[in-house]
Amino acid sequence: MAKYIFVTGGVTSSLGKGIISASLAKLLQARGLSVTIQKFDPYINVDPGTLNPYEHGECYVTEDGAETDLDLGHYERFLSIFTTQANNVTTGRIYQTVINKEREGAYLGKTVQVIPHITDEIKRRMKLLGNEGYDIVITEIGGTVGDIESLPFIEAVRQLQWELPEEDCLVVHLTLVPYLKAAKELKTKPTQHSVKLMSENGVHPDIIVCRTERPLSPEIRRKIALFCNVKQEAVIEAADAPTIYEVPLAMMREKLDVICLKKLNITQYREPELSAWKEFLDKLKYPKSKVSVGLIGKYIELQDAYKSILEAFVHAGAVNECKVEVVNIHSEFITAENVDEKMSNLDALLVAPGFGHRGIEGKIIAVKYAREHGLPFFGICLGMQMAVIEYARNILGLHDAHSTEMNPDTPHPVIDLMEAQKQVTDKGGTMRLGSYMCELDPSSLAHTIYGKPRITERHRHRWEFNNAYLEAFEKAGMHASGKNPESTLVEIIEIPGHPFFIGVQYHPELKSTVENPHPVFVHFIRAAKEYAERKEAVKNPLLQSEMI
Ligand code: GLN
């Protein structure tokens, strides 16, 4: 029988419920328990796949092809487990199921209502992963307590607290304890109000995690405990951390895991085994070198748009004991005139995934620079497609080459809509999604990187390399080094002879975790380090002669 921990949030959004949930899960996992996390989102979209990054940050794709919330990325990066469609549920999906059932006649004769029909469906889904053999299922409830949309979820938690044995269910409430500069004080009132709001909805938190800029004094803890009706040990300080990867250790110091285990009456557990995690943190904190990597995209002003890529850099940097300084470069503002200036201080270049026309030409100009200057290049999805277009235009001499996504009338559609996509009209959940196999050419860079002939990676795209041009590309020196064995779809392109030039149709960033950093990112950062060293040697000939 699984036990359930619910994580709710109060006062404001962006307090880091996902990180707190993932950190708690990490600690429980490190104590030998099997844990999974799921997220319930209160919006009406069936999934976040149709939301743009301004609305919702990155869309995270799971192995089974679900388009999900980016918090699932944190869960996977912290726990090194795979999540699935079942780990992310929205109001839209709940209503869709209930309405479909109503049409089928499942409720014949009855009025279908939020309570009990919607809440029953929420509860059914909340318990679904509990049947998969996990000891603990953590459920993060999106949104903030008090939002109209969150009410059915809070109500479902209230009902579950009654239905499940008392020791099988626990509620953690994350709240903000702001510091008022003028008063020189931490303020507990927003927390009191938010817990009161929860209580009005019939849910009483067992543990209160307080996001704060300053340490909580014993007095403040006592006050929160008193007003919020919890034990003082259940008031947890979550101070701002220099990196999200510190948070599990901070939560361990606050004994968040121990308090949960006690309340859930779990007695079989070990001391936390976190040696790999600590080793990673150590390398992260004390890098021996530094590289500057240009990240080219059209959403670079948004913190969350390229979340998994940024985290994969952190993982790969730690392996290389190298600080990865990410230089955000807006693709819309790259021109042939300013590209030298924008790229000259970089040690590597990553062209990001994306959709639509905006910023495309800037990406192509940046790829050209990387190709011509031997600058390590890594293109992901749209980034790979841009590398193909650049090569077609500037090496194959197909000056109007393009993707039919941007120019449906191009005379040279080197990137074209996949056959299976041609009849698709619906936008939600209809791309080529999730994990597919790729076979690697044994003599390729890709094979050296992965060290095996077959890999699986996750996808999210509609367009692909047009195989009608494959021979021309191969003859001209761009090699398709990875292909899907069934569809022969090109998954990887590279340019042999260039120090590091690789484009992938899939999304490797989605599979990089603290304990399993992604090999392409690891090799990319290594190539950046080597590039930086070569650059330094040219600047400093003395060093060069020493190196020889
Ligand atoms: N827009 C491109 C396609 O659909 C690339 C998608 C992506 O970068 N995820 O094929």
Q: Which two tokens stand for residue 57?
A: 């940050």
**Residue 320: which pLDDT band, with cuts at 50, 70 and 90?**
very high
Ligand 1 mean position, distance from CA 355 (Å): 5
504 lines ligand 1 (CB under 6 A): no
Q: Give the residue numbers annotated as catalytic, written as ranges.
A: 381, 507, 509
**Residue 77: which pLDDT band, with cuts at 50, 70 and 90?**
very high
Q: In a mutational test of the pocket of ligand 1, which residue from 462, 464, 490, 510 has the highest number of ligand atoms less than 8 Å from its CB?
A: 462
Residues recorded for the chain: 548
Ligand 1 mean position, distance from CA 5 (Å): 37
Detail the DSSP E strand segments found in 407-453.
413-417, 432-440
Determine the atom of ligand 1 nearest the C-alpha atom of 415.
Answer: 10
459 lines ligand 1 (CB under 6 A): no
DSSP code, position 352: P
482 lines ligand 1 (CB under 6 A): no
Report residue 171 CA to chain centroid gap. Answer: 25
Q: How high is the pLDDT of residue 548?
A: 52
10 Å CB burial of residue 36 (0-12, 13-18, 19+) is buried
509 lines ligand 1 (CB under 6 A): no
pLDDT in tens, 5-16: 999 999 888 899
353 lines ligand 1 (CB under 6 A): yes
Q: Which two tokens stand for residue 224?
A: 């929160």
Q: How high is the pLDDT of residue 39?
A: 97
Q: In a mutational test of the pocket of ligand 1, which residue from 461, 466, 507 has the highest number of ligand atoms less than 8 Å from its CB?
A: 461
Instruction: Give SS3 for 178.
Output: coil
Res 545 pLDDT > 70: no
Q: How high is the pLDDT of residue 356?
A: 92
Q: How high is the pLDDT of residue 538?
A: 87
Res 459 pLDDT > 80: yes
Q: Give 127-159 as a DSSP string.
A: HHGGGGT-SEEEEEEPS-TT-TTTHHHHHHHHH
Distance between CA atoms of residues 1 and 40, nearest Å: 21
* Mean pLDDT, rounded, of the chain: 96
Q: How high is the pLDDT of residue 94?
A: 98
Res 542 pLDDT > 80: no
Instruction: Give kind and range of the element (H or E) at residue 462.
Output: none
pLDDT in tens, 187-232: 999 999 999 999 999 999 999 999 999 999 999 999 999 999 999 9
Of all protein residues, the one whose alpha carbon is nearest to atom 5 of ligand 1 is: 382
Determine the atom of ligand 1 nearest the C-alpha atom of 405.
Answer: 1
Q: How high is the pLDDT of residue 411?
A: 97
The pLDDT > 90 percentage for the chain reads: 94
What Å distances lie between residue 114 and 103, 108, 119, 152, 350, CA to CA? Answer: 16, 16, 6, 7, 47
Distance between CA atoms of residues 407 and 401, nearest Å: 9
Distance between CA atoms of residues 158 and 203, nearest Å: 5
Res 547 pLDDT > 80: no
**Residue 301: which pLDDT band, with cuts at 50, 70 and 90?**
confident
Provide the phi-psi class of 32: left if phi over 0, else alpha when psi is between -120 and 50, else beta.
left
pLDDT in tens, 332-372: 999 999 999 999 999 999 999 999 999 999 999 999 999 99
Q: Residue 187's closest CA among 172, 176, 199? A: 176
User: Do 8 and 104 touch, CB atoms closer than 8 A?
Assistant: no
Q: Give 243-289 as a DSSP string.
A: SGGGHHHHHHHTTHHHHHHHHTT-----S---HHHHHHHHHHHS-SE
Ligand 1 mean position, distance from CA 385 (Å): 8
Q: How high is the pLDDT of residue 211?
A: 97
pLDDT in tens, 18-69: 999 999 999 999 999 999 999 999 999 999 999 988 888 899 999 999 999 9
Q: Residue 312's closest CA among 26, 510, 167, 118? A: 510
pLDDT in tens, 103-124: 999 999 999 999 999 999 999 9
263: CB partners within 8 A, 6+ apart: 167, 170, 206, 207
Q: How high is the pLDDT of residue 14?
A: 86
**Residue 546: which pLDDT band, with cuts at 50, 70 and 90?**
low
pLDDT in tens, 407-455: 999 999 999 999 999 999 999 999 999 999 999 999 999 999 999 999 9
Ligand 1 mean position, distance from CA 462 (Å): 6
